[in-house]
Structure 1
Amino acid sequence: MLLTLLAVVTIAIVRQRSLFGVVILASIYSFLMASVLIVLDAVDVAMTEASVGAGVSTVLLLATLHLVKTTEMKRVRPHLLPLFVSLGTGAVLVWGTLVLPPFGTPDAAIHKHVAPRYIADTIKDTNVPNVVTSVLADYRGYDTLGETTVIFTAGIGVMLLLRKARRRGRRDDAETSR
């Protein structure tokens, strides 16, 4: 049911002409994706998806729409090139997955290198019973810190750009009132 709702929301996003509608639908998509992750027992990833994907991203995008006050132009004629590029890319990706081992196969290459060590030693090394949390916080802590720094830097950049746009808007308003 959740995957069907995800597909419906995706189609609605693609067909939506209002930027406000796209932001709201993207927020709904993030909440649905967080629900899927909870069903898959990845609660920590679900919490991140809900807070960043639905929470922070929605607030930033709505604030941007409010400050920028843009409207989307009507499409004059349908463009078929993006459709063919998307279909071609999708076909190549599906074709590339045909050589992969079946999902969940225990003898796949990904399960033979580091995963057995993480599963066997996670409680002894980190004293954390959740393997995903121990990988993100302990084994790959610097990587997670780097990703968080990138997201924080991007957020600060967006805020500075919006602040500059707001100042420019005030200056334009003052000049037109003279």
Structure 2
Amino acid sequence: MISKISSTFGSWPVLKQIEKNNPDRHFVTLSSTSIHNDLQLLDVSGRPSAFANPLTYLIQFHKGKLEWNGFYRFSFITLSKEEIKVFDAKISQLTNANQLPIGLNDLFVLQPEKRPNERVLLTIWQLDSDYAIWRRSASYAPFKIYSDSGAYNYHDANYTAYQLHSLSS
């Protein structure tokens, strides 16, 4: 199990060069679903980052398959120490069920390395429609407070995983 994920953003040629320069790493290239040419490269090797200015996330919790393919939903929230305990309990309740929501491959709770009161709920789905269905389900209800209230500095981003050959150079 890896203990951290590093991320960087850039153009396709720059991200491709990083991958070429680090063939011993496991990278995942992501493309924004809403902003054309917004590309992100994840280093999921768990090793010290290969990026010049990485965003590094410590993995606080993971459940799933580690397949790194599909629809990525990053949900960013800011919590107090007490709220982190409540959030963790909600994650525990969701993942202690016999099965994860239909279509959910992986669920990560990430902590930005230099921001201990922030959390990123990273969910990786088979399809974006699986995520949309979960958002309307009872198992999502405990998490609505974070996106619906202005109190948690909530924002999110959606990406899809790209295979190396799926973008032109």
Give the TM-score, by structure 1 length.
0.20
Hey, which of these two has a bigger chunk of strand by percent?
A: 2
Indicate the structure (1 or 2) with the bigger Cα radius of gyration: 1
Give the TM-score, by structure 2 length.
0.21
